[in-house]
Amino acid sequence: MFSKRNFRPLLAFLLIGAAGIDSVAQAQTQPQAPDTIEARVRACMACHGKHGEGTENDYFPRLAGKPTEYLFNQLQNFRDGRRKYPPMNYLVTYLSDDYLHEIAEYFSKQRPPYPPPTKPTVSAETLARGRGIVLNGDAGKNIPACAACHGKELTGMEPAIPGLVGLHQDYMSAQLGAWRAGGRHAKAPDCMHEISLRLSDDDVSAVAAWLATQPAPQNPVPAPARSMKTPLACGSEPQ
* Chain contacts with ligand HEC (rule: CB under 6 A): 2, 7, 10, 14, 41, 43-44, 46-48, 59-61, 63, 66, 70-71, 73-75, 83, 85, 87-88, 91, 103, 133, 143-144, 146, 148-150, 160-162, 164, 167, 172, 174-176, 186, 191-192, 195, 199, 207, 230-232, 234, 236-237
Residue 19 beta carbon to ligand HEC: minimum distance, rounded to whole angstroms = 14
The letter for the amino acid at 102 is E
Report d(CA 182, CA 184) in Å as an integer: 6
| Listed residue (170, 168, 194, 169) closest to 180, CA to CA | 194
Between 27 and 109, CB nearer to ligand HEC: 109
Residue 124 beta carbon to ligand HEC: minimum distance, rounded to whole angstroms = 19
| Listed residue (59, 211, 195) closest to 126, CA to CA | 211
Instruction: Name every residue whose Cβ is closer than 8 Å to that of residue 87 and which is 6 or more positions away in sequence.
Output: 2, 7, 47
Burial of 222 (0-12, 13-18, 19+ CB in 10 A): buried
Residue 192 beta carbon to ligand HEC: minimum distance, rounded to whole angstroms = 5
Between 28 and 239, CB nearer to ligand HEC: 239
Residue 127 beta carbon to ligand HEC: minimum distance, rounded to whole angstroms = 14
Confirm if 108 and 121 have CB atoms less than 8 A apart: no
Report d(CA 225, CA 214) in Å as an integer: 23
Between 198 and 217, CB nearer to ligand HEC: 198
Between 39 and 88, CB nearer to ligand HEC: 88
Residue 24 beta carbon to ligand HEC: minimum distance, rounded to whole angstroms = 27
